[in-house]
Homo-oligomer: A and B are copies of this chain.
């Protein structure tokens, strides 16, 4: 992928950090399956499976560990 989508891990708030973790999780999928039409086709079944949603939340949690550490946990 040639576009610049990740220039920093630093965010203003924990919530923005959590949303960056979601972006990282989706990008991890997109590097393996770059075809947007395929991803869209897979989405409905995926978003209706409790197991798939838990698995997605786990990837977000792992990426959020990274982003939170990068931001020194947004401690004042």
Which of B4, B42, B50 makes the CB contact (< 8 A) with A15?
A: B4
Interchain CA distance A42-B53 in the complex, whole Å: 10
Interchain CA distance A66-B28 in the complex, whole Å: 15
Q: Would A13 and B7 count as touching, CB distance under 8 A? A: yes
Q: Would B28 and A56 count as touching, CB distance under 8 A? A: yes
Residue of B nearest to A63 (CB): B61
Q: Would B54 and A47 count as touching, CB distance under 8 A? A: no
Instruction: Other than A18-B27, A28-B58, A50-B52, give 13 A-B pairs with Cβ distance below 8 A.
Output: A8-B74, A22-B28, A25-B61, A29-B54, A32-B53, A33-B53, A49-B50, A55-B55, A58-B59, A61-B63, A62-B65, A66-B73, A70-B74
